[in-house]
């Protein structure tokens, strides 16, 4: 079974097929296609379809959008774009997945002299929300049995079910973060009295264990000034908070490629009202003094009577090109709905400190890949031995990052999804001495 949270549908993959999913909000697309031939013999595509502009009516009069209206508008647009498209069948009163639907069939003579057949289904999932299901194959080799089985397995949740699910996850997230206070944050710092190190590695397509680098993480009490110092120093005082720092070195996977050093810092005030974070990447060629660097910094100022709204200010800059970009993003007014960057970096330990209940919850946070605020999905599962598992999605249909937590509340293994290695990049907890010994045995030289 394959599920798209954004589309609100689940479908069973036919034998010999594969799924491709692009999660882009309302532009999300799910494709289920033949995996045994190239090009594929058949493709089914599911996407959100926007209703056409409202028809003219009297003042205050609106005409409800129906699958039939969408079908007629779609056919008109299709004929205008491609006059050679021949529509052979239309059904305006159908149901699919238990919801109102309309259906159209069209054929098109391809330059290869083969005739492509399209079956389109317009499914209404809410007053103004529709899904378009497209089945495409060669007319003379129509894979009707495959399409019929796929459509019979399709489960679609309506707009109200999706809204209820999102609200429920959000309320569970708020219930968890309502309990985050100075005591909880200090407990996280206490769990990490020294830097914790991880070996970064992955498996290639041939199953070989490949070294990607190493990383260390610390959490200390200090002031915001440690965001700009070479080495953050712990201190106490009335203006302190929690600083989380990740130091990372990425080993080049090809000859003559540079080492990449990453310094990721995130500071949060004890009352969660103010935060600052930065990520600096520095590339350095082996045996060379010249470096190239770029950074991104985020700052959430404390609300004031004159500026009561919460916002996140983002600054991106490159030392080499002098490019500089600034963005300001509005945040939820209620901090219970927002995950700071410092909390995100130590989220498994924080949830362990809070003794969070098992379940999936939603929480808004900065998304570095999309450079925006997105709603994360976090699935927390404690075990009977005192450990836990956290599965995180940076957005509704994002790829899953998995973190295994030991009985001490510290991450022992983290698997980050990536498209460049099989199974993702693994962070395995090890001592610095063990990492050095492993590198010595593998003949890997890492410069200081």
Q: What is the pLDDT of residue 270?
A: 98
What is d(CA 211, CA 202) in angstroms, rounded to the nearest whole number? 7
pLDDT tier for residue 369 given thresholds of 50, 70 and 90: confident
- Least reliable range by pLDDT among 36-45, 65-74, 169-178, 200-209: 200-209
Instruction: Name the one residue in this structure whose structure tokens are 């020294």.
Output: 194
The answer, yes or no, to whether residue 306 has pLDDT greater than 80, is yes
Query: By three-state DSSP, how is residue 87 classified?
Result: strand
For residue 421, what pLDDT band results from cuts at 50, 70 and 90? Answer: low
pLDDT confidence bin for 54, thresholds 50/70/90: low
Strands 99-109 and 155-156: unpaired
Q: Is 256 left (phi over 0), alpha (psi -120 to 50) or beta?
A: left
Q: Which residue has the tokens 């959490």?
A: 219
Q: How confident is the model at residue 10 (pLDDT cuts 50, 70, 90)?
A: very high
Closest by CA to 217, choosing from 233, 240, 238, 194, is 194
| Token pair recorded at residue 91 | 């059904």
- Helix ranges (H only) for 346-423 are 347-354
Asked if the model's pLDDT at residue 104 lies above 90, the reply is: yes
pLDDT value at residue 317: 76
Query: Percent of the chain having pLDDT more than 70?
Result: 94
CA 340 – CA 330 distance, rounded (Å): 14
pLDDT value at 410 more than 90: yes
Q: What is the pLDDT of residue 53?
A: 64
Residues 196-245: tens digit of each pLDDT = 999 999 988 788 889 999 999 999 999 999 999 999 999 999 999 999 99
Considering the chain, what is the average pLDDT of its residues? 91
Question: pLDDT higher for 448 or 93?
Answer: 93
In the predicted model, is pLDDT for residue 50 greater than 90?
no
Q: Is the pLDDT of residue 287 over 70?
A: no
| Residue range 60-69: mean pLDDT, rounded | 77
- List the structure tokens of 241: 């908070």
Q: Is the pLDDT of residue 89 over 80?
A: yes
Kindly give the pairing relationship between strand 196-203 and strand 155-156.
unpaired
198 near 210, Cβ under 8 Å?
no
Domains annotated on the chain, with CATH? 2-157 (3.40.1000.10), 168-442 (no CATH)
């Amino acid at each position: 079974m394959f599920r798209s949270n954004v589309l609100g549908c689940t479908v069973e993959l036919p034998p010999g097929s594969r799924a491709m999913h692009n999660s882009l909000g309302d532009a999300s697309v799910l494709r289920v296609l033949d995996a045994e031939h190239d090009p594929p013999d058949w493709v089914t595509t599911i996407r959100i379809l926007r209703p056409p502009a409202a028809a003219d009516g009297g003042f205050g009069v609106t005409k409800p959008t129906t699958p039939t209206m969408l079908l007629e508008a779609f056919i008109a647009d299709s004929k205008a774009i491609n006059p050679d498209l021949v529509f052979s069948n239309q059904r305006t009163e159908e149901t699919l997945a238990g919801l109102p639907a309309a259906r159209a069939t069209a054929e098109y003579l391809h330059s290869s002299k083969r005739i492509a057949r399209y079956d389109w289904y317009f499914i209404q999932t809410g007053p103004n929300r529709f899904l378009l299901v497209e089945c495409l194959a060669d007319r003379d080799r129509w894979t009707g049995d495959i399409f019929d089985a796929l459509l019979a397995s399709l489960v679609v949740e309506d707009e109200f079910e999706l809204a209820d699910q999102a609200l429920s996850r959000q309320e569970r997230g708020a219930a968890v973060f309502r309990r985050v206070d100075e005591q909880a944050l200090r407990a996280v710092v206490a769990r990490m009295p020294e830097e914790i190190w991880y070996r970064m590695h992955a498996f290639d397509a041939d199953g070989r264990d490949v070294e990607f680098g190493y990383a260390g993480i610390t959490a200390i009490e200090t002031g915001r000034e440690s965001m700009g110092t070479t080495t953050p120093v712990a201190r106490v005082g009335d203006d302190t908070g929690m600083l989380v720092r990740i130091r990372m070195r990425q080993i080049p996977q090809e000859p003559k490629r540079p080492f990449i050093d990453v310094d990721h810092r995130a500071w949060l005030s004890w009352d969660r009202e103010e935060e600052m974070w930065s990520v600096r990447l520095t590339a350095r060629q082996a045996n060379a003094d010249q470096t190239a660097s770029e950074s991104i910094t985020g700052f959430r100022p404390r609300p004031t009577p004159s500026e009561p709204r919460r916002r996140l200010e983002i600054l991106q800059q490159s030392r080499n090109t002098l490019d500089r970009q600034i963005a300001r993003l509005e945040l939820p007014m209620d901090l219970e709905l927002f995950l700071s960057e410092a909390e995100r970096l130590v989220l498994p330990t924080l949830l362990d400190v809070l003794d969070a209940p098992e379940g999936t919850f939603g929480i808004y946070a900065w998304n570095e890949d999309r450079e925006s605020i997105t709603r994360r999905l976090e699935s927390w599962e404690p075990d009977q031995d005192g450990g836990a598992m956290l599965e995180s999605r940076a957005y509704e249909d994002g790829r899953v990052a998995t973190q295994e937590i030991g009985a001490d509340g510290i991450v022992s293994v983290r698997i980050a999804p990536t498209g460049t290695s099989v199974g993702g990049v693994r962070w395995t907890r090890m001592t610095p001495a063990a990492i050095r010994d492993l590198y010595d045995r593998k003949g890997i030289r890492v410069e200081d």
